[in-house]
Amino acid sequence: MTMTSPLTLNLAAATPEQFGAWTAPHLRAMSLLAARLASDAERDDVVQEALIRAWTKRGQYDARRGTPSAWLLAITADQARRARRGRRPLLGFLPGRVRPIDDELDLAHAIAGLSGRQRLAVDCFYFVGLDVAETAAVMRCSEGTVKSTLSDARNRLRKLLEGRDGPA
C-alpha cells in the first residue's frame, strides 16, 4: 500500500480519503471556529459543509497564497456565517459547560457589545486560538488590519468592562 504525504498531495487528483487525511490536522481548529461563529448545535454541520465545499473547490487551492489551515478556516468561516445568519447567540462562548461565574459573564457581555469585525477578530484570535495570519485569512484582510482591529477591540472592551466591574 502506498501512502501519499499530505505535504506532497496533488489536491485536484486526491481521493476523498487522501483529502480527508490532508484536512485532519486542521479539523480541530475548524470545529472550534464553527462552534464559535455559529453555535454548538450547528458545529458538526458547518464543518461537514465546509469540508464538502473545500472538496469541490480543491482545484482552486493555491499553496503560494497561503497555508491549508488558512484556506480551510476561511471556508469554514463562510459556512458558519451562512448557518448563523441573523441568529448569533448573545453569549456564544458560555453554553453551560463553562462555570458561569460573574467574571466570565461580564466578559461575554462585553464581547457581545463589540462590532461584528472586532468580535470576529477576538473570536478567532483569543477563543479559537488562531495566529494573526490565520485570523487575517478568516477575516479576509491583512495581518496589520487584524492587529489594529484587536487593539480597537481591547480598547472598546476596557470601556465596556469599566462600566460593569471597574477597570479591567
Partner 1 sequence: MDPLDQRLFDAGSAWRQSQPESPDLDRMVVALRRQRSGFIQRRLMYAFVAGLLLMAAIAVAPGVGGFLHLNQAPVPVATASPSATPAPSTPTPSPSTTPKPEPSAPAALTDAERATELVHKYEDGLVSGRWQAAFDLLAPTSLTHQAGFASFREERAAFFDSVNGRYTIGEPSRVTDWTDYAPLVEGADRSRAWLIQVDYPALAGNNAGFEQFVVAPDAGGTWRIWPVR
Binding site for partner 1 (CB under 8 A): 16-17, 19-20, 23-24, 27-28, 30-32, 35, 43-44, 47-48, 51-52, 55-57, 60, 62, 64-66, 70-71, 74, 81-82, 85, 93, 95, 97-98, 104, 107, 115-117, 122, 126-129, 136-137, 139-142, 144-145, 149, 154, 157-158, 161, 168
Give the nearer residue to partner 1 in terms of CB position, either 37 or 51. Answer: 51
Nearest to 165 by CA among 157, 91, 119: 157
Q: Least separation, in Å, of the C-beta of 5 and partner 1? A: 18
Q: Least separation, in Å, of the C-beta of 4 and partner 1? A: 15
Calculate ∠ Cα 55-17-61, nearest 5°: 30
Please report where in the chains the cell 487525511 appears, as a residue. Answer: 21
Alpha helices in 57-130 (DSSP H): 68-84, 102-112, 116-122
Give the nearer residue to partner 1 in terms of CB position, either 7 or 101. Answer: 101
How far apart are alpha carbons 19 and 9 in whole angstroms? 8
Q: Least separation, in Å, of the C-beta of 8 and partner 1? A: 20
Q: Least separation, in Å, of the C-beta of 2 and partner 1? A: 18
81-117 exposure pattern, b = at least 16 Cβ within 10 A, e = fewer = eebbeeeeeeebbbeeeeeeeeeeebbbebbebbeee
Give the nearer residue to partner 1 in terms of CB position, either 7 or 59. Answer: 59
